[in-house]
């Protein structure tokens, strides 16, 4: 039985423009701007063509479908991530800088959270980040398949912390909940759990963004401590 054929915009040669129309770079840049402003639901080939005064049919010269366009836009997100040279700053500082950069970039482009794991990250920018991460963990002392496991551990932590944050921000929209009312509602739900009530009454929860950042920092340090411990054993 033959499986479904894998397709990707990155496994075929890009088509070159045959007329002085829009370049692929211009199309991708406009798509990212539209996605940032309207989300995945706001992007269509027709609307993008109108934005570029190009017409949807001309866009299909560069991409076969909307998913291919999203692959191109998704790779631009990876272009914004930074991985400092571990030989210069040390592997832990390199990994930490990447993790914070990755979180900021995904929060800056919240639509990308819905593409993680759904579209292949095979573009040059994504592959470049993956390659630099491998070098980072190799510099740390990991070898063989453990390099891949360390990569997966770090990215899973960042995405696992960031994607729910984006979902929460999206659900709230521009109307944030009153901190006092939120705390009272959670306190009512947790009435039979005194340990949880003690945490709910912390004044720090008046600034949920600060709490999320502290939580991310705590978890990241713990992940890196765990990876370092594995190296030691």
Tell me what percent of the residues of the chain surpass a pLDDT of 70: 88
At residue 124, the pLDDT reads 95
> Looking at residue 158, what is its pLDDT?
98
pLDDT above 60: residue 174: no
Note the pLDDT of residue 201. Answer: 62
Q: Quick one: pLDDT band at residue 223, thresholds 50, 70, 90?
A: very high
Burial label, 66 (beta-carbon count in 10 A; 0-12, 13-18, 19+): middle
Residue 42's pLDDT band (boundaries 50, 70, 90)? Answer: very high
- Which residue would you say has higher pLDDT here, 14 or 138? 138
Q: How confident is the model at residue 150 (pLDDT cuts 50, 70, 90)?
A: very high
Q: Are 76 and 111 in contact (CB under 8 A)?
A: no
Q: What does each C-alpha distance from 3 to 21, 47, 121, 211 come to in angstroms?
A: 38, 34, 21, 46
> Phi/psi class of residue 103: alpha, beta or left (left: φ > 0; alpha: ψ in -120 to 50)?
alpha
Instruction: Say if residue 119's pLDDT is above 80.
Output: yes
Query: How far is residue 78's CA from residue 76's CA, in Å, rounded to a whole number?
Result: 5
- Give the span between the Cα atoms of 95 and 73, in whole angstroms: 25
Is the pLDDT at 69 greater than 60, yes or no? yes
CATH 1.10.10.10 for domain 80-232: no
Quote the pLDDT of residue 198.
Answer: 73
**Which segments of 81-123 does DSSP mark as H helices, in order?**
86-89, 91-108
- The answer to whether residue 180 scores a pLDDT higher than 80 is no
pLDDT at position 18 is 55
Element containing residue 111 per DSSP (H, E)? none
Q: What is the mean pLDDT of the chain?
A: 88
Is residue 70 within 8 Å of 119, Cβ to Cβ? Answer: yes
Supply the pTM of this predicted model.
0.86
Q: Is the pLDDT of residue 175 over 70?
A: no
Q: What is the pLDDT of residue 153?
A: 98
Q: Nearest-CA neighbor of 83 among 111, 102, 69?
A: 102
For the domain bounded by 9-77, which CATH number is listed?
1.10.10.60
Domain-by-domain residue ranges, the chain? 9-77, 80-232
| pLDDT the model gives residue 164 | 94
Q: Is pLDDT at 172 greater than 80 in this prediction?
A: no
Taking the C-alpha atoms of residue 42 and residue 190, their distance in angstroms, rounded to an integer, is 39
Which range, of 34-43, 78-87, 157-166, 197-206, averages the lowest pLDDT?
Answer: 197-206
- Per-residue H/E/C for 139-172: HHCCCCHHHHHHHHHHHHHHHHHHHHHHHHHHHH
Contact 133, 85 (CB under 8 A): no
* DSSP conformation letters of 162-199: HHHHHHHHHHHTT-PPPHHHHHHHHHHHTTT-HHHHHH
**Region 193-214 average pLDDT:** 74
Nearest 5°: phi and psi at 4? -65, 135
25-34, 87-96, 113-122, 206-215, range with the lowest pLDDT? 206-215
How confident is the model at residue 145, as a pLDDT? Answer: 97
């Amino acid at each position: 039985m033959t499986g479904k054929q894998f397709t990707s915009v990155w496994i075929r040669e890009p088509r070159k423009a045959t007329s002085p129309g829009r370049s692929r770079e211009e199309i991708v840049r406009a798509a990212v701007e539209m996605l940032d402003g309207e989300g995945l639901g706001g992007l269509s080939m027709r609307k993008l063509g109108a934005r570029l005064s190009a017409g949807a049919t001309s866009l299909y010269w560069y991409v076969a479908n909307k998913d291919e366009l999203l692959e191109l836009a998704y790779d631009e997100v990876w272009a914004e991530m930074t991985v400092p040279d571990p030989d210069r700053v040390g592997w832990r500082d390199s990994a930490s800088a990447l993790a914070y950069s990755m979180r900021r970039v995904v929060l800056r482009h919240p639509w990308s959270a819905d593409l993680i794991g759904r579209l292949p990250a095979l573009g040059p920018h994504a592959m470049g980040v993956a390659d630099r991460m491998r070098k980072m963990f190799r510099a740390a002392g990991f070898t063989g398949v453990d390099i891949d496991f360390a990569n997966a551990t770090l990215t899973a932590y960042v995405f696992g912390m960031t994607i729910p944050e984006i979902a929460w921000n999206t659900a709230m929209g521009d109307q944030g909940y009153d901190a006092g009312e939120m705390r009272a509602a959670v306190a009512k739900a947790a009435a039979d759990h005194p340990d949880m009530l003690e945490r709910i009454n912390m004044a720090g929860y008046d600034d949920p963004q600060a709490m999320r950042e502290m939580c991310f920092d705590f978890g990241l340090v713990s992940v890196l401590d765990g990876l370092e411990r594995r190296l030691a054993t």
